Amino acid sequence: MKKVTGLLLLFIGVLLLLNLNVAHRFHTESTQIKPGTLLLMADDWNVNNWYKYKDSFEKYGLKLTFYVSHIHTMDSMRLAKLRVLQSEGHEIAFHTLNHHDAQKYVQANGLQEYLKVEVDSGLALFRKAGFTTKAFAFPCGSYASAYFPSMRQRFQTLRLNNFPLHQVPYVEDSVKFIQPHNFMFSCFALDDAYGFDQAKLSSLLEEVQKGETVALLFHSIGEDSPWSMSEANFRTFLMLYASYQVRSETVSGFFKNAVVDCSGSMD
């Protein structure tokens, strides 16, 4: 009888240990949230302004993608600042040569002329200046699907539209959240002209914390322009970014599949 009781107690003990182990594994796996990624971007030719805030970017661990246009107008000092930003882990991406509206330009001059002047000649200057870019953004969010095959030969990723933060609840998830297999994506803008919304920004960062990837855009910081993010809003962004403890990455750092070099060949 004692032997049977001992075996029964041993059996019950083994069951308890197994249940505890399963419960621990379930708790661990269910509470480990895969972190998402924030893609923070800046557009145009505001190099001096971006450089002014590079210490803030570094302090908060932000890796930005700077979509640059008008490279042919930049002096050696601004080019040197872009190289410093690149050396610190940021990406220097391409935003055409002259920042023309693509649809208007193509309608007036044809797609091949657009590719020759606005894209290929600008890429040649990029290479000469020491930048090799895999990322492209259409100025003004102006594009047509007919451009995609030619652009895909030249770039790994294409950024399409910019949405105001107040449209966060109404934008489809396929646009709101970035997926690594989709080389085209859109973003939400932080500039004053789009209407900075702290609550909507918080909701996006919360989604990043849960595992989604979201893209945010500004043009400059603290300048007297509607196409700039105010200093106060920038500080609010930094506070929220730090509080949600999410990570940022460059665009090309996130899209690691099917890398395209500037000559148009695919690795």
Question: How high is the pLDDT of residue 32?
Answer: 46
pLDDT at 253: 93
Q: What is the reported pLDDT for 12? A: 46
The full set of domain ranges for the chain reads 1-32, 35-254
Instruction: Quote the pLDDT of residue 1.
Output: 54
Q: What is the pLDDT of residue 152?
A: 94
The 10s digit of each residue's pLDDT in 124-141 is 999 999 998 899 999 999
> What pLDDT does residue 26 have?
34
243 beta partners: none
pLDDT value for 30: 38
* pLDDT averaged per 10 residues in sequence order, the chain, 267 residues: 51 47 38 73 98 98 98 97 98 98 97 98 95 94 95 96 94 90 93 97 97 97 97 98 96 69 36
What's 35-254's CATH class? alpha beta
**Quick one: pLDDT at residue 132?**
86
